[in-house]
Amino acid sequence: MTAGEVPLESRESLSERSLWLMSGFLLVIIAWLFWDYLQRQVLFAVNQQADWGHTLVIPFISGYFVWLNREQLLREPFRSSWTGLFLLVAGMSWYSFCALGPQVLKHHNLMGVGFGLSLVGLTLFLFGWRSMRWLWFPLLYMILFSQTISDRFLQIVTFRLQDIAAYGSYWGLTLLGYDTSKSGNTLRIFLDGEVIPVNIAEACSGMRMVVAFLALGVAMAYRGLDFAWQRFLLVAFAIPTAILVNILRVITLGVLATLDSNFAAGDFHSMVGMLWLIPAFFIYLGVMWLLRNLVVVDDEEGSSRGEGDSAEGILSVRFSRGTRKAFIVACLVMVGGGVLFQLLAAQLNVYLQKEPVKLRSSLANVETTLGSWKMLHEYRMSEAAAEELGTKYYISRIYRNRAEPGWPALNLHVAYYTGQIDVVPHVPDRCLVAGGLVERSPEPSHYNLNVDQSDWIEDPYHQIDGVPFQLGKARGLHEVRMPVGDIVVRTSEFLDPAHPEERIFAGYFFIANGRLTPTPGGVRMLAFNPMEKYAYYCKLQFMMTGDADFEVDDFVEVISDAMNELLGEIMLCLPDWAEVQDGVLNDPTDT
């Protein structure tokens, strides 16, 4: 008997039927215990297949890695380690703390850390330290690549990748002989007196390709290369390879757009992205071939490294005595933790998932003529821009005040979101800069809107956070509950390098769960309050372009006047939060 080998009398044999029953029972408990996290991850992958569909495949790749190492894993019986039980409890505790604790911690990726730590602890507890020599990589690979990266983290990188894609495709199209200009993340191709815009939206930033290539690179490095430095270089090459291929994809879309502008949008736009994955894969294979052939591995060494023990019985699953006890303990700990988690959630009145709230009426029903304000134009976004916006419930209109001909036209954008949990709203602070404008002021400023509330009356029956709702009028006829809080607009001034004489102002505020806030951080605090079952928020965004004499006070005055007419109209479309609190919900059909 070799050192570390378990004596025959200390081994415990489990039938194949017992193994399947135990595995199935563990999977059921894990799914029940982490249902909130797992369900949200699957919905992310299904609803955003272009970005996160690959996360559904990652667990199967991890399972394949385990299968490849099966001979080494099964050479000796598994021995449970009680250290794993400590990690399991720590992971469950962190997951519960994120879900039930401070709101700032209720974050998909932070909860994923708890799920991953629990999975590592359970594996270590049942299979022991020796097995982790071959299981640590499949576990870490699955934990890292099978979860969606939060928008809060992703957009920091995405914004930079958009810049790189814009610069790279600009120079690529220029080298191909096209007369091209770049403004922010928008390219303009001038051809036969026509201007063809190519917008590099977040969906075209290449972030999805970077994540997918990192997952592919790590998998290929693990099985295809012999030395650690080779594996490190292959994984490192994933990022520049993905960026290069994404630039080539944008160049391709730009060239095709000169033939037909429809080629740069819609399903064809997505198809081009998928087609470029084929040469991208072969480029990456070429990088791996080059790294592998930089060093010649001796044939005898390679053959001995790949040889496995083919003795009879090597593939049988064997455990040290006490496996059943460890399995029972693990089940009891997880079930007990799950029951305690549910009891705490009920005691704290915490809702683990946010239910969507439908609009009372389509935003398209907002009147086009209100008082002296009249709509001049309404436009719809391209498919790529709508994907970047993240909602199909929006209106984008240009209004002008006929009673004040000296006022510039007002660009109004209203977007509605519901049922989400960790979303960074798209705001002018970042989006307009991406469109080529330059921010004049280092930080946005806050201004109170002068909205006439003289005819608002206090609702005697409904309140929120101890503050009564105010009842206002829409169209002078309909009584509507107004959002609670000060109407404060967050404003920034921008410069268009092509028209430096103009002054461009943009501002916004949010209505979230019946309350007002001027900041994205306020949306998280209001719409995602763990004590509330439902969640929605609506962004009201304004933009105006004036001459050199147009000041921010003028901008605020124009918005205030417009909101006197439009706020009640918009509130007629949004959910009545007092009714939502009373359990009166709208028809679940799309509006």
pLDDT by position in tens, the chain (length 591): 444 454 544 555 566 777 788 888 899 999 999 998 898 888 878 776 666 777 888 899 888 888 888 888 888 888 888 899 999 999 999 999 988 888 778 788 889 999 999 999 999 998 889 899 989 989 998 998 888 877 666 666 766 777 788 888 888 888 888 888 877 667 778 877 777 777 665 445 556 667 777 787 788 777 777 777 888 888 888 778 878 887 888 888 788 878 776 655 555 555 666 677 777 778 878 888 888 777 665 554 444 444 444 444 445 777 776 677 888 899 999 999 999 998 998 888 888 777 888 999 999 999 999 889 999 999 887 666 666 677 889 999 999 999 998 899 999 999 999 876 555 566 766 666 656 677 787 788 999 999 988 889 988 888 888 888 988 887 666 789 999 999 999 999 888 777 788 889 999 999 999 999 998 888 888 877 778 888 899 999 999 998 888 999 999 999 999 999 999 999 999 999 988 888 776 654 455
Evaluate whether residue 309 is within a structural domain. no
Evaluate whether residue 418 is within a structural domain. yes
Same domain, yes or no: 342 and 371 = no
* Cβ atoms of 474 and 572 closer than 8 Å: yes
Helices (H) and strands (E) counted in the chain, each on its own, are 19, 18
Where in the sequence is the domain holding 35, given as residue range(s)? Answer: 10-148+322-348
d(Cα 124, Cα 139) in Å, to the nearest integer?
A: 11
* Of 412, 458, 421, 435, residue with least CA distance to 569: 412
DSSP, res 562: H
Evaluate whether residue 526 is within a structural domain. yes
> How many Cα atoms within 13 Å fall on the side-chain side of residue 71?
9
Same domain, yes or no: 367 and 416 = yes
Same domain, yes or no: 49 and 116 = yes
User: Per-residue DSSP letters for 338-393?
Assistant: HHHHHHHHHHHT--SSPBP---SS-GGGS-SEETTEEEEEE----HHHHHHHT-S-
Evaluate whether residue 299 is within a structural domain. no
pLDDT of residue 575: 93
* Cβ atoms of 111 and 93 closer than 8 Å: no
Evaluate whether residue 504 is within a structural domain. yes
User: Per-residue DSSP letters for 147-159?
Assistant: SPPPHHHHHHHHH
Evaluate whether residue 3 is within a structural domain. no
pLDDT of residue 443: 81
pLDDT of residue 118: 95
Global pTM? 0.73
* Cβ atoms of 409 and 349 closer than 8 Å: no
Same domain, yes or no: 137 and 165 = no
pLDDT of residue 423: 59
Same domain, yes or no: 405 and 448 = yes
pLDDT of residue 309: 43
Same domain, yes or no: 107 and 161 = no
Same domain, yes or no: 333 and 373 = no
Same domain, yes or no: 179 and 242 = yes
Same domain, yes or no: 431 and 445 = yes
Same domain, yes or no: 342 and 238 = no
Give the dihedral of Cα atoms 255, 259, 262, 264; nearest 10 deg. Answer: 0
Same domain, yes or no: 215 and 137 = no
**Number of folded domains that form the chain:** 3
Evaluate whether residue 354 is within a structural domain. no
Evaluate whether residue 420 is within a structural domain. yes
Same domain, yes or no: 332 and 478 = no
